[in-house]
Structures are given as structure tokens and as C-alpha cells.
Amino acid sequence: GDTSVLAGLYGPVEVKGSKESPDGATLEVLLRPKVGLPGVGERSREQLLRRTCEAVVLGALHPRTAITLVLQVLSDAGSLLSCCLNAACMGLLDAGLPLSSLFCGVTCALGAQGSIVLDPTARQEQEARAVLTFAIDSTERKVLMATTKGSCSVEEMQQCLAAAQRAADTIFQFYRDSVRRKYSK
């Protein structure tokens, strides 16, 4: 919809001694909101993104390097976290970093009666009883990361998860089409 996030990726590059890790690449994520200085909310989202990306990036191929991922929020109209996840994945893909699988982010909002809305707008998010975000990977549709805001029952979470896995298919198709388009010319 109207939510836009711009992702920029640098790496693998040299890193200072304190940050370097002999096992693999160190991943750093920076999320910049549009207005104001980055606050605690941004930090927590950065950590979530970082964990997800670490699970996917084959860091062992580039030890003692750093990979920096910068995300700038251009506009926020709901489902911001999953938009960031998608932007991050496409950025990693475009940069040519070795990945074990792709991932995508899907947000679900649970209405008061238990109605599931995928990819909610800001309005729908506010009115929802619970908002769940999942990061789903491409190879086996497993869940890489899940975050909830609000309360929901276990069954509802199951349903949201299943719906999210369906939606993931659509998103991966979008990835494929856009990459194909870019490299076919």
C-alpha cells in the first residue's frame, strides 16, 4: 500500500577489531524513522531484523567482516515491520550476499470478532485486538520470527500463521518476478 521503506546495504567490509568475529560476518541493522531521532521502538525492531537476517545470511563465508543494513522509513501506513523485513530481504538479494533462504514478512491483524486481516493499514492496526507479524522463510515456509502486540488465543495464532504462510507464497512470487524483470534486460 502506502508504506514505503528504503533499504541500503554495505558489505562485507572491513571492521574494527572490537567488532570483528572470527566465525563469520557481523551484521548491523540501522532503522531510521522519518521524524525524530531513533528511539527504543526502533532499537527493538532493529534487533528483530538482525536476528532474522543472521539466521539467513551465510556469515561463515565472510569471517571478520561487517555487513551494514540501513533502512529508512519513507512513509508509514501500517504493517511497517513486515515492510522492513521485505525490504531487507530484497536488499540482501540485490547485493548478492550468500543466503541460505529468502524470507518475507507478513502482518496479520485480529479483529474483535476474530476476523483476520492480512497486511492491515494503520487504521486497521489500531482497531485490532492483536497484531501479529511473522517472518517466514522460503524453503519450507517455516517461521523465522514472530512478534505479537495484544493478546490472542492459541488457535487464532495458528490461523494467522497459516494465513501468513499462504501470503508468503504471493510475496515470494513477487520477489521472483521483480528480480527476473531486473535481470532480463
Partner 1 sequence: QRLDGRQCYDYRNVRVSFGPDRGCCVVELGKTRVLGQVSCELVPPKPNRATEGILFFNLELSPMAAPGFEPGRQSELLVKLNRLIERCLRNSKCIDTESLCVVAGEKVWQIRVDLHVLNHDGNIIDAASIAAIVALCHFRRPDVSVQGEEVTVYSPEERDPVPLSIHHMPICVSFAFFQQGTYLLVDPSEREERVMDGLLVIAMNKHREICTIQSSGGIMLLKDQVLRCSKITAVKVAEITELIQKALENDQKVRKEGGKFGFAESIPNQKITAFKMESAAVDTNDVEEQAEEIITKADPPSEVFAKPILHTPGTAQIGEGIENSWGDLEESEREEAAEEEGESDATAFECQRMETEDTSTMSEAKDEPIVLSDSEEEEVVILEPQEVSKKTRTQTTLKQENTSKKAFNKRRRKKRAAR
Among 19, 100, 127, 177, binds partner 1 (CB under 8 A): 177
Footprint of partner 1 on residues 153-172 (CB under 8 A)? 154-155, 158-159, 161-163, 166-167, 170
For β-strands 143-150 and 130-137, DSSP reports them as antiparallel
- Taking CB under 8 A as the rule, does residue 75 contact partner 1? yes
Among 22, 36, 39, 96, binds partner 1 (CB under 8 A): 36
CB 30 within 8 A of CB 69: yes
Among 21, 70, 95, 111, binds partner 1 (CB under 8 A): 70
CB 87 within 8 A of CB 7: yes
- Taking CB under 8 A as the rule, does residue 55 contact partner 1? yes
Q: How far is the CB of 9 from partner 1 (least distance, A)?
A: 8
Which of 64, 59, 122, 120 lies closest to 92, judged by CA?
A: 59
CB 29 within 8 A of CB 71: yes
Among 21, 30, 98, 149, binds partner 1 (CB under 8 A): 30
Task: Tell how far CA 86 is from the center of its chain.
Answer: 5
